[in-house]
């Protein structure tokens, strides 16, 4: 019969992490610590508004205080950086999240570098990227962190395995590759990108395949080794006249055909997506712990 694979549900795993966080936050509150996330949104991009709403709602579910700062799209670089500096020095605020993309000519790199590395819960500041590269991570950016937790909580051993990461972005591919090759995870990692030769040949050797390229259903079954673990980071909207919306979300992996070849596979939606918000919450709770002289949570 069909050799169905096990589904790695980010929905279920993130719900579990959120439950653990709730207990943790209750504990912190008995010590007089209320974890607090500042959420900065510039302009009115509809997708960004949805993300920000979901982040604030998850804060509320867990008991984290969120403080929203909604700025008009006429905001200048200087005004935005002044807000970030004020949040840096506000002792009530433990974490700062600035929703990207920024509208107009606003410079994201400059904003990231303005956020205090101690409050950079998105893990994007060069200091935090550097700490990951040195094997001493502080804040791990939320999507890579979510991928690691999906592997760990599904009981997948990474040590000595061949891991292939498709994509080398600073946000996703690069930190995942760095982390999987670091001590404790101990995979042998290959990073593939748009210039990689014989891509299918490389991916076919992967025990663990992470797809983060942003091309709908790019990874087909001929590119996957039988029994591989496949994590799909991609979120792509494609036309689908059969849906009321006229479109639907798919990942970077052709799920239906790869499902029968993989041992584990994460779906889209309901995979890495919900993990990303949960890990933002973890980083915010850890920020509040560190800023109060406590050790990080043990996840």
CB nearer ligand NAD, residue 83 or residue 211: 211
Q: From the CA atom positions of the chain, what is the Rg in Å?
A: 19
* Contact call for residue 169 and ligand NAD (CB under 6 A): yes
Kindly state whether residue 212 participates in binding ligand NAD, applying the rule CB under 6 A: yes
Give the three-state DSSP class for 227: coil
Q: State residue 49 phi and psi, 5-degree precision.
A: -60, -40
Footprint of ligand NAD on residues 134-163 (CB under 6 A)?
143
The structure tokens listed for 40 are: 């900065």
Judged by CB under 6 A, does residue 109 bind ligand NAD? no
How does DSSP assign 277-292, residue by residue?
HHHHHHHHHHHHHHTT
3-class secondary structure, 67: strand
**Backbone torsion region of residue 6, taken as left when φ is above 0, otherwise alpha when ψ lies between -120 and 50, otherwise beta:** beta
Stretch that binds ligand NAD, among 32-40, 114-122, 125-133, 169-177 (CB under 6 A): 169-177
Query: Which member of 128, 141, 187, 276 binds ligand NAD (CB under 6 A)?
Result: 276
Phi, psi for 225 (deg, rounded to 5): -75, 145
Q: Least distance (Å) from ligand NAD to the CB of residue 238?
A: 11
Alpha-carbon distance of 85 to 149, in angstroms, equals 32
Stretch of residues binding ligand NAD (CB under 6 A), selected from 32-40, 99-107, 179-187, 213-221: 213-221
Query: H helices of 32-76, where?
Result: 46-62
Give, rounded to a whole angstrom, the gap between the first and last alpha carbons of the chain.
Answer: 38
- For residue 198, indicate whether it is catalytic: no
Q: In what order do the strands lie in the sheet with 188-192?
A: 6-7, 264-265, 229-232, 208-211, 162-166, 188-192
| 196 part of the interface to ligand NAD, by CB under 6 A | yes
CB of 102 to ligand NAD, least distance (A): 15
Q: How far apart are CB 79 and ligand NAD at their closest, in Å? A: 27
**Candidates 120, 122, 232, 252; catalytic one:** 122
Active site residue 26: no
Segment near ligand NAD (CB under 6 A); pick from 45-53, 75-83, 154-162, 209-217: 209-217
Residue 113 is a binding residue for ligand NAD (CB under 6 A): no
Task: Check binding of 236 to ligand NAD (CB under 6 A).
Answer: yes
Which one of 73-81, 129-137, 269-277, 290-298 is the stretch in contact with ligand NAD (CB under 6 A)?
Answer: 269-277
Q: How far is the CB of 20 from ligand NAD (least distance, A)?
A: 20
CA pair distance 108, 282, nearest whole angstrom: 23
Q: Quick count: other Cβ atoms within 10 Å of Cβ 271?
A: 28
Which residues are annotated as catalytic? 55, 99, 122
Binding region for ligand NAD (CB under 6 A): 143, 166-169, 171-173, 192-194, 196, 199, 212-215, 233-236, 272-273, 276
């Amino acid at each position: 019969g069909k050799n169905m694979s096990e589904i790695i549900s980010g929905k279920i795993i993130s719900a579990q992490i959120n439950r653990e966080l709730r207990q943790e936050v209750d504990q912190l509150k008995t010590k007089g610590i209320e974890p607090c996330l500042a959420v900065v949104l510039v302009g009115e991009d509809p997708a960004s508004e949805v993300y920000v709403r979901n982040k604030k709602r998850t804060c509320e579910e867990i008991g984290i205080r969120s403080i929203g700062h909604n700025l008009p799209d006429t905001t200048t670089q200087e005004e935005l950086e002044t807000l970030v500096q004020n949040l840096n020095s506000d002792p009530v605020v433990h974490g700062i999240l600035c929703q990207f993309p920024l509208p107009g000519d606003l410079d994201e790199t400059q904003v990231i570098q303005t956020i205090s590395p101690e409050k950079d819960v998105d893990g994007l500041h060069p200091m935090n990227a550097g700490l990951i590269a040195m094997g001493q991570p502080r804040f791990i950016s939320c999507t890579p962190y979510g991928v690691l937790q999906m592997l760990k909580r599904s009981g997948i051993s990474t040590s000595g395995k061949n891991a292939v990461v498709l994509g080398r972005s600073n946000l996703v591919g690069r930190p995942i590759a760095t982390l999987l090759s670091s001590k404790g995870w101990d995979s042998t990692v290959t990073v593939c990108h748009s210039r990689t030769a014989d891509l299918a040949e490389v991916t076919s050797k992967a025990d663990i395949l992470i797809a983060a390229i942003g091309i709908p259903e790019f990874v087909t079954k001929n590119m996957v080794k039988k029994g591989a673990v496949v994590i799909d980071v991609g979120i792509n909207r494609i036309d689908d006249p059969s849906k009321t919306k006229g479109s639907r979300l798919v990942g970077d992996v052709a799920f239906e055909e790869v499902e029968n070849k993989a041992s584990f596979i994460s779906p889209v939606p309901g995979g890495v997506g919900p993990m990303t918000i949960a890990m933002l919450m973890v980083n915010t709770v850890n920020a509040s712990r560190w800023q109060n002289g406590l050790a990080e949570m043990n996840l």
